[in-house]
Structures are given as C-alpha cells and as structure tokens.
C-alpha cells in the first residue's frame, strides 16, 4: 500500500514496534456520518417532524461535516489517488453549492438539500472506498483523529465564501467556528443530533 501524505503530526513509532494509534478510521467516521445525515433527512421529510430543531441540527451537522472533509479527507484523496484532482474539485464545488442552499434553510428547500446530500454521499463515498484500499489502517486512523478534531472546531453555520482547501481553510474555519458557537450559545440553538427529541439512527 502506498503511504498517504498526512498533515504534520507527532512522530509515530515504526511499524515493527507493533504500534497502532487509538481512534477510528476516517473511512469509518465518514461512512457513519453519511448514514446519520441520510437518516436525519428521512426523519425531517417524514410525516412527524420537528422542523425548527431539525433544520438547525441538519445545518450544523452538514456545516461541520463538509468543513472537516475539506480539511483532511479530500486533500488525502487528492494526494493518494491517481487522477483524483478533477473529482475532488467537483466535490468542493458541490459542497459550496450545498452550503449556499443551507443558508437560511427553510422546510420547502429540504427536497433540494436531500438530493444534494445523497449526491455528496455517493461521490465522497466512492473516494472513501478507494482511499481505504490504498492507505494503511494506521494512516486512516491518524486521519480520523484529525477529522474529529477539525469537526469540533468547525463552523456550525454555512459559510460558502470561506477557503475550501488547505492551508487556509485549516486557519479560517476554526476562527469562524468560534463565532458560530458563541451565537449558538446565546440563542440556545441546537447543533447536535443528540439535541433532538428523537435522534435519528444511522
């Protein structure tokens, strides 16, 4: 398997020392989040919904998810997969379009959001499957650790005008995320699946 270029990380012991980092694979994390987003959309478009809370959580979850993917998953796919540049660029453009739809999301726009999220899951899911095939488990776990850190610092509102590629997105997105989190705290806005009365199962 070829090594996947990683962001600067503390040195890891060599493989012959039997080292395996703690955490979850970036592939497993992204796959699970995709299923959770699809489950939330199914719940929001069903007959019994809580639109206000649900739309806020969907917006926050997607904003965090797309930001973290653009910081770590898509750059890793671009570096590790042959001829991936065009596909990664297409995903970044699709992310910006999705974030634009999310701005001021209303219930009537859910159909378009759902269609865009399903396309995202299909496109990024294919990149994840290919990355899983060429990267080592250690590389996937270390990327997963970085992705989770990025998600916690990411914006909770759509900001389609911010940089979408490293290094600038890794600098700008956490700063914007701080402002979003202050606004969320002041307005008591729900931003996590667990904030919903009935969190979707994904």
Give residue 112's pLDDT: 93
Give residue 11's pLDDT: 55
**Would residue 26 be called left, alpha or beta, if left means φ above 0 and alpha means ψ between -120 and 50 degrees?**
alpha
Closest by Cα among 138, 164, 120 to 30:
120
Q: Count CB-CB contacts under 10 A for residue 163.
A: 14
Give residue 53's pLDDT: 86
Give residue 198's pLDDT: 81
| Cα–Cα distance for residue pair 66/73, rounded to 1 Å | 10
Q: What is the pLDDT along the chain (202 residues), one digit of tens a residue?
A: 456 665 555 455 555 555 566 899 999 999 999 999 999 999 888 766 556 789 999 999 999 999 999 999 999 999 999 999 999 999 999 999 999 999 878 777 899 999 999 999 999 999 999 999 999 999 999 999 999 999 999 999 999 999 999 999 999 999 999 999 999 999 999 999 999 888 887 6
Give residue 192's pLDDT: 95
Cβ(39)–Cβ(94) under 8 Å?
Answer: no
Longest dimension (CA), the chain: 56
Give residue 52's pLDDT: 75
Give residue 141's pLDDT: 96
Give residue 37's pLDDT: 97
Q: Count CB-CB contacts under 10 A for residue 87.
A: 18
């Amino acid at each position: 398997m070829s090594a996947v270029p990683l962001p600067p990380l503390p040195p890891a012991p060599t493989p012959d020392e039997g080292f395996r980092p703690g955490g979850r694979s970036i592939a497993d994390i992204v796959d699970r989040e995709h299923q959770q987003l699809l489950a939330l959309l199914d719940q929001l478009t069903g007959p019994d919904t809580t639109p206000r809370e649900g739309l806020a959580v969907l917006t926050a979850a997607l904003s965090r998810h797309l930001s973290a993917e653009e910081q770590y998953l898509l750059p890793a796919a671009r570096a590790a997969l042959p001829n991936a540049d065009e596909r990664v660029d297409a995903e970044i453009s699709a992310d910006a379009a999705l974030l634009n739809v999310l701005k001021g999301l209303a219930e009537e726009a859910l159909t378009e959001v759902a269609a865009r999220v399903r396309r995202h899951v299909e496109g990024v899911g294919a990149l994840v499957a290919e990355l899983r095939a060429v990267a080592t488990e250690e590389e996937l776990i270390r990327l997963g650790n970085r992705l989770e850190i990025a998600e916690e610092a990411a914006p909770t509102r759509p900001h389609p005008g911010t940089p979408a590629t490293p290094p600038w997105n890794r600098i700008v997105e956490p700063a914007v995320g701080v402002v979003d989190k202050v606004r969320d705290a002041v307005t008591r806005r729900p931003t996590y699946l667990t904030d919903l009365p009935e969190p979707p199962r994904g």
